[in-house]
């Protein structure tokens, strides 16, 4: 072999070696990437199945049954005169107001002996807006047509007619204290 042939052979071997190194580099990169993906998927499945239990296999669907609660104490202002009791109170206030003390006083009053039934009207309910006013409430309504209530109010109904009408938290609290 002469010198030219030896140089050609060396260049050929060098190209093969570079190609092999590049292939090895690509193969190791792909292997590392696939390994990382497999580890992430396995971790996700492990956490989903054993920790949070949000992933289930098969037809094991657990139905979450929510208990339905019917609140017979909450009414609409349009039902003010339609209650079955002969004598009862209707408390009109914003039930979503966490700072209101009326709920506590209502509970204290209902715990007393011979306490009248107290129905609640949520003044924040849009269905009640037809009967709610900011001022000039009607303190002696005889029908739904002339019913104008200012919140917070306590209305005493006897035999389908209004016998007492009280406005303001302090006044309502005083009635519940009796």
Q: For residue 172, what are the contacts with CB-CB under 8 A and spacing of at least 6?
A: 91, 102, 105, 152, 153, 154, 166
pLDDT digits (tens, 9 = 90+) for 65-81: 778 877 788 899 989 99
From first to last of the 178 residues of the chain, give the pLDDT tens digit. Answer: 687 787 777 777 777 777 777 788 888 999 999 999 999 999 999 998 888 888 887 765 566 677 887 778 889 998 999 999 999 999 999 988 888 888 888 989 999 988 999 999 999 999 998 999 998 899 999 888 889 999 899 999 999 999 999 999 999 999 988 7
Give yes or no: residues 135 and 100 share one domain: yes
Gap between the terminal Cα atoms of the chain: 122
User: 148: helix, coil or strand?
Assistant: coil
Task: Spell out the SS3 assignment of 44-89.
Answer: HHHHHHHHCCCCCCCCCCCCCCCCCCCCCCEECHHHCCCCCCCEEE
Domain boundary among 14, 31, 65: 65
Residue span of the structural domain in which 11 resides: 1-65
Same-domain status, 168 and 92: yes
Q: Please tell me the total count of domains within the chain.
A: 2
Domain limit, last residue, from 18, 47, 65:
65
Residues 171 and 98 in one domain: yes
Query: Do residues 143 and 114 both lie within one domain?
Result: yes
Please check whether residues 156 and 89 belong to one and the same domain.
Answer: yes
CATH code, 106: 3.40.30.10
Question: Domain check: are 83 and 162 in the same one?
Answer: yes
Are 13 and 79 found together in one domain? no
Instruction: Give yes or no: residues 81 and 165 share one domain.
Output: yes
Q: Where does a domain end: 35, 65, 95?
A: 65
Verify that 34 and 97 share a domain, yes or no: no
- 8 A C-beta contact, residue 118 and residue 164: no
């Amino acid at each position: 072999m002469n010198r030219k042939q030896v140089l050609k052979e060396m260049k050929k071997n060098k190209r093969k070696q570079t190609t092999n190194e590049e292939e090895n580099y690509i193969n190791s990169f792909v292997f590392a990437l696939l390994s990382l993906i497999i580890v992430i998927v396995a971790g996700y499945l492990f956490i989903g199945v054993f920790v949070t239990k949000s992933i289930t296999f098969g037809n094991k669907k657990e139905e979450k049954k929510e208990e339905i609660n019917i609140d017979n104490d909450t009414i609409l202002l349009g039902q003010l005169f339609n209650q079955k009791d002969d004598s009862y109170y209707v408390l009109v206030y914003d039930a979503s107001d966490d700072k209101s003390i009326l709920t506590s006083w209502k509970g204290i009053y209902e715990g007393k002996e011979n306490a009248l039934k107290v129905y609640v009207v949520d003044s924040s309910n849009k269905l009640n807006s037809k009967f709610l006013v900011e001022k000039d409430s009607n303190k002696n309504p005889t029908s739904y047509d002339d019913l104008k209530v200012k919140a917070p109010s306590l209305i005493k109904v006897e035999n389908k007619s209004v016998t007492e009408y009280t406005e303001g938290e302090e006044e309502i609290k005083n009635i519940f204290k009796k």
